[in-house]
Chain A
Amino acid sequence: MGDDDSPRRVRRNLLAAIGGLLLGGCDALSRTEWFPRILRVGEDLSRRMQHAVTARKSMAQEFSERDLSPSFRSNGTANPNDDEYQTLARDGFSGWRLQVDGLVEQPMGFSLQQLRSMRSRVQITRHDCVEGWSAIGKWKGVPLGDVLALVRPTVAARYVVFHCADPMDLAGTKYYESIDMEDAYHPQTILAYELNDATLPIGNGAPLRVRIERQLGYKMAKYIMRLQLVDSFAAIGQGRGGYWEDQGYEWYAGI
Chain B
Amino acid sequence: MLDAESLAARRPDRAARGYLYYRHALIVRITHWVNAIALAILLMSGLNIFNAHPSLSWGRSSYSDRAPIFETGAATAADGSLIGITRIFNRSFDTTGVLGVSSDGGRQVVKGFPSWITIPSFSWLAMARHWHFFFAWLLVINGCVYLAFSAIGRHLSHDLLPTRLDWRSIGRSIVDHMRFRHPTGVAATRYNVLQKLAYLSVIFVLVPLIILTGSAMSPRLDSLQPGWIELLGGRQSARTLHFVVAWTLVLFALVHVFEVLVSGVWNNLRSMITGRYRIPPDPR
CB contacts (< 8 Å) of A51 on chain B: these are: 220
Min Cβ gap B41→A in Å is: 8
CA distance A188 to B79 in the complex (A): 52
- Contact check: which of B121, B127, B136, B137 meets A23 at CB < 8 Å? B121
Q: A43–B218 Cα gap in the complex (Å)?
A: 13
| B48-67 interface code vs A (CB 8 A; 1 in, 0 out) | 01101101000011111100
Contact with B along A51-76 (1 / 0, CB 8 A): 10110001111110001011111000
Whether B126 is near chain A, meaning CB under 8 Å from some CB there, is yes
Q: Are A19 and B116 in contact (CB under 8 A)?
A: yes
B50 to chain A, nearest CB (A): 7
Report the Cα distance A27→B105, complex, angstroms: 13
The answer to whether the Cβ of B278 comes within 8 Å of any Cβ in the partner chain is no
B116 and A54 within 8 A (CB): no
User: Which one of B44, B52, B126 lies within 8 Å of A248 (CB-CB)?
Assistant: B126
Interface assignment of A230: CB less than 8 Å from any CB of chain B: no
Complex formed: what's the CA distance from A26 to B118 in Å? 10
Q: Which of A26, A70, A216, A249 has the most chain B CB atoms inside 10 A of its CB? A: A26
A72 contact set on B, CB distance < 8 A: 63
A residues in contact with B258, CB < 8 Å:
none
Please determine whether B120 and A30 come into contact, CB atoms closer than 8 angstroms.
yes
Q: Is the CB of B226 within 8 A of A62?
A: yes
User: Shortest beta-carbon distance, B204 to chain A, in Å?
Assistant: 21
* A30-B127 CB under 8 A given contacts A60-B226, A69-B63, A132-B49: yes
Task: Count A interface residues, CB 8 Å.
Answer: 53
A213 to B219 alpha-carbon distance, docked (Å):
7
Q: A23-B119, A132-B53 are in contact. Are A39 and B224 (CB under 8 A)?
A: no
- A36 close to B127 (CB less than 8 A): yes
Judge whether A132 and B61 touch: CB under 8 Å: no
Which residues of B are found within 8 Å of A60, using beta-carbon distances? Answer: 219, 222-223, 226
Q: Is the CB of A42 within 8 A of B130?
A: yes
Name the interface residues of B59-103: CB closer than 8 Å to any CB of A: 60-65
Let me know if A255 is at the binding interface, CB within 8 A: yes
Given A42-B130, A43-B130, A132-B239, check contact A50 B218 (CB 8 Å).
yes
Complex alpha-carbon distance, A178 and B44, angstroms: 31
* A249 touching B126, Cβ below 8 Å: yes
In the assembled complex, A180 has its CB within 8 A of some CB on chain B: no
B17-37 CB mask vs A (1 if < 8 Å, else 0) is 000000000000000000000
**Which A residues touch B50, using CB under 8 A?**
132
Query: In the complex, what residues of A have CB within 8 A of residue B236's CB?
Result: 133-134
B63 partner, pick from A24, A59, A71, A249, beta carbons under 8 A: A71
Contact A40 B223 (CB under 8 A): no
Interface flag for A77 (CB, 8 Å): no
Cβ contacts A to B, 24 pairs, < 8 Å: A23-B119, A23-B121, A26-B44, A26-B121, A40-B134, A41-B137, A42-B130, A42-B133, A42-B135, A43-B130, A50-B218, A59-B226, A60-B219, A61-B222, A61-B229, A67-B60, A69-B61, A126-B60, A126-B235, A128-B219, A132-B55, A214-B223, A248-B130, A255-B215
Kindly list the 10 A-B residue pairs having the minimum CB-CB distance in the complex, ordered from nearest: A254-B220, A69-B63, A42-B134, A132-B53, A255-B218, A248-B126, A42-B133, A58-B223, A39-B130, A133-B62
